[in-house]
Structure 1
Amino acid sequence: GFCCGLHKIERLMRQQALRARPRRRGLPKDIGVRQLAAVLPNILDRQFAATQPNQKWVADFTYIWTAEGWLYVAVVIDLFSRRVVGWSMSASMTAQLVADALVMAIWRRGSPRSVLHHSDRGSQYSADQFQRLMADHGITCSMSRSGTVWDNAAMESFFSSLKTERVRARVYRNRDQARADVFDYIERFYNPRRRHSTIGYLSPMEFERLASSG
């Protein structure tokens, strides 16, 4: 109901340290070279149910905007319980990013064998470094078909939850602030407390505890 000019609004916003929300930024592009020899078939084939831990893992990475620039978040999920078993964060979209997440999963789960690892066909997952890591630990590689996001729907569901329930409500001044918040979401909320309809409305950690005791 108040009439005022544009310059007055600008002055008042400066005084209160207010800024308009910027337009959506262009998303980063994967410009890495894909190793065609490492592009493997889709063995998972959208079979997202697992009968035991460390039978099927799905993996991918996403990006979160901060005032310092993009923060890339790589995640590995065990389909048995939907638990995040490995994750890593970096300012760079590299093979090391996804390798670090897989190393954490291997270490946390006691170096299991005969795991099926499913991801997309990005240059990070087809890189020699990452393929050697999987081969050294006896992990079978499965990759989504090109342009078919539903092939990794379980992973997309996790990233949707992360961004809807946490990231979109935040403004991160730097990458460290975003790292701390993503860590808090995964380790203090998602794994121990967030309920999932696919596992009987239990949290991933509770579902694993009950499965091991039964």
Structure 2
Amino acid sequence: MARHRTHSIDLKRQVAQDYLAGETLHSLARRHDQSRNLVRIGIQKFEAGAFDNEAGSGDRVPKAGSEARTKAEKRDYIRRHRPRGISVAEGCRLLGIARSTYYDKPATRIDDTALVETMATISDSFEAYGYRRMQAALRHRGFVVNHKNIRRLMREHGLQPRRRRRYIATTDGDHELLIFPNLAKDIVPDGPNQLWVADITYVAITAGFVCVAVMLDAWSRMVVGYAIGRSIDVRLTLAALRSAIEKRKPPPGCVHHTDCGSQYAAGRDRQALAEHSFVGSMKRRGNPYDNAKAESFMKTLKVKAVYLMAYETFENVGADLP
């Protein structure tokens, strides 16, 4: 009776690797004096990870074979044990994972200490930044962080936005002057000088306030005219309008949209609009959404420029804001 022969794990592994490298079953069976069926069984065991018993405990194959492994375990196994004759694509196919999983870089946890230090630096420079702007600023510095984590850290470390506000009304709608209808609500500009929007705001200084009137092109949201003054009256709004006309020279029919304040409803302002063939338009009283683009610009101006500078004099404002 023929004696039963045993083959080492190393030999079985080498046979399977030679097969996967391209050698045929017939050639392998002849070279190693084995039956083709035995060679085939060895290859199947190799693909299932059954020849890894000599590896450390972290590399052992579960009883269920490769199917019981997570994608991360399969990826790590391919990286450490892939034979030279097997490509990455073939190794991923054998273990049932996408090739992109092999190249995936494991996420590394960001140290909260370094993150908070960076957030504090940003907050010192931009004290009005909320969590959304903070997230964008961190991304520019190479930190990709979930917004919920940013909100938590800002709350725990006192980095909430700080805004200095002294509110004062800029719209005097309690008058009997004529009001233009709201034409802007039906206009979607597709080019420049079709719709201009205007608004007025205050800039706080040590001794009081500085008045700023701004004119925007609604299509590009570019500032086309502005004026700075010590008092809020029709002279301020006219100065902003005239600077915009001189700069852009709009065609007849351009819509001039404002709030319904007395400055914009004054006879001198209406006369200037008629002289330059503007079409007047005003938002409804108490509805800031009717002039949202101008309101949004004023908010951005305050947050990104005014609140950060803490102007002291009229001259400071006039030198910096333009």
TM-score w.r.t. the length of structure 1 is 0.70
Q: Which of 142, 159, 166 is residue 281 of structure 2 equivalent to?
A: 142
Residue matched to 1:51: 190
Residue matched to 2:182: 42
Distance 1:148 1:31 in 2: 14
| TM-fit CA distance, 1:30 | 5.1
Q: Which moved more, 1:26-35 or 1:113-122?
A: 26-35
Q: Which of 157, 176, 192 is residue 296 of structure 2 equivalent to?
A: 157
From the superposition, tell whether residues 32 and 179 of structure 1 become closer, same or farther in structure 2 (CA, over 3 Å).
Answer: farther
> Aligned runs of 1:9-28 on 2, under 5 Å?
24-28=165-169
| TM-fit CA distance, 1:180 | 1.6
Q: 1:106·1:112 contact (CA, 8 Å) conserved in 2?
A: no
Structure 1 residue runs without a partner (length 5+): 1-22, 184-214
Residue matched to 2:126: none
Structure 2 residue runs without a partner (length 5+): 1-163
Q: 1:117·1:142 contact (CA, 8 Å) conserved in 2?
A: yes
From the superposition, tell whether residues 67 and 133 of structure 1 become closer, same or farther in structure 2 (CA, over 3 Å).
Answer: same
* Residues 12-34 of structure 1: per-residue CA shift (max 9 Å, x gap): xxxxxxxxxxx843515656873
Distance 1:154 1:97 in 2: 20
Q: Which has the higher helix share?
A: 2
Residue matched to 2:219: 80
> Aligned runs of 1:150-189 on 2, under 5 Å?
150-183=289-322
From the superposition, tell whether residues 110 and 29 of structure 1 become closer, same or farther in structure 2 (CA, over 3 Å).
Answer: closer
Q: Which of 256, 259, 270 is residue 131 of structure 1 equivalent to?
A: 270
Aligned residues: 161
Distance 1:31 1:62 in 2: 13
Distance 2:296 2:244 in 1: 19
Provide runs of 4+ in structure 1 moved above 6 Å. Answer: none
Distance 2:264 2:210 in 1: 18
TM-score w.r.t. the length of structure 2 is 0.47
Distance 2:170 2:193 in 1: 31
Distance 1:30 1:142 in 2: 15
Q: Which moved more, 1:104-113 or 1:137-146?
A: 104-113
Report the AA paired with residue 102 of structure 1: L
SS of match in other structure, 1:45: helix
Distance 2:200 2:284 in 1: 17
Q: Calculate the aligned-residue CA RMSD, in Å.
A: 2.2
Q: Which has the higher strand share?
A: 1
Report % sequence identity: 38
Q: 1:60·1:75 contact (CA, 8 Å) conserved in 2?
A: yes
